[in-house]
């Protein structure tokens, strides 16, 4: 029986993590691989939900605000959008598990324009564990929306990274001081 907890592995893709990714956080993101994969397996084995909200884009979309801010990244069907390293292998092995699923997101927050809140509430999830990249962008915006929707937040400090060290540190403080998140 699944529990009331879910792990969100946010945007852990080649474009955000691999050395030659289009918008990579590089080594800090790469160091997360064993932590994220071990946490995913621990939570799956415990009956928790393991969700992989994954950024997806169309190159040079004139209607998407990120097109003005960042180079094309996480293009549907591209190597860049594939899950990074051992997480890809873990997901390939467990994607048929009903407590594990990957879904598209087109904005920073995993809640914006998705049915995530509805699906979590159907499953009586009250606590969200967040890992992934980037701490100060997609993880942050997901956390803010989760907070505003009334979810309890657990941020795994060794499971988040950014290409901006100052933004990463600021986001960790914000999670704890402004969102009441538990940092572990």
Residue 66 backbone zone (phi > 0: left; psi -120 to 50: alpha; other: beta):
alpha
Please count the structural domains in the chain: 1
Per-residue pLDDT of the chain (184 residues; tens, 9 = 90+): 678 999 999 999 999 999 999 999 999 999 999 999 999 999 999 999 999 999 999 888 888 888 888 888 999 999 999 999 999 999 999 999 999 999 999 999 999 999 999 999 999 999 999 999 999 999 999 999 999 999 999 999 999 999 999 999 999 999 999 999 999 9
Structural domain of 46: 6-183
pLDDT at residue 72 in the model:
83
What residues contact 52, with CB distance under 8 A and at least 6 apart? 8, 9, 12, 83, 91, 100, 101, 102, 103
Structural domain includes residue 165: yes
Beta bridge partners of 57: 75
Q: Read off the tokens for 12.
A: 């852990």
Q: Are 66 and 86 in contact (CB under 8 A)?
A: no
Residue 72 lies in a domain: yes
The pLDDT assigned to 1 comes to 66
pTM: 0.96
CATH number at residue 147: 3.40.50.850
């Amino acid at each position: 029986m699944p529990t009331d907890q879910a792990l969100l592995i946010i945007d852990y893709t080649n474009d955000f993590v691999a050395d030659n990714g289009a918008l990579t956080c590089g080594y800090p993101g790469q160091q997360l691989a064993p932590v994220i994969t071990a946490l995913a397996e621990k939570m799956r084995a415990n009956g928790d939900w393991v969700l992989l909200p994954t950024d997806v884009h169309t190159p040079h979309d004139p209607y998407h605000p990120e097109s003005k801010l960042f180079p094309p990244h996480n293009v549907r069907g591209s190597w860049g959008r594939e899950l990074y390293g051992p997480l890809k292998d873990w997901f390939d092995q467990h994607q048929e598990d009903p407590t594990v699923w990957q879904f598209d997101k087109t904005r920073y927050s995993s809640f914006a324009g998705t049915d995530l809140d509805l699906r979590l509430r159907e499953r009586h999830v009250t606590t969200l564990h967040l890992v992934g990249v980037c701490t100060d962008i997609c993880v942050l915006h997901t956390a803010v929306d989760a907070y505003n929707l009334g979810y309890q937040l657990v941020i795994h400090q060794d499971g988040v990274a950014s290409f901006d060290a100052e933004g990463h540190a600021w986001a960790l403080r914000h999670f704890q001081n402004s969102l009441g998140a538990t940092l572990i």
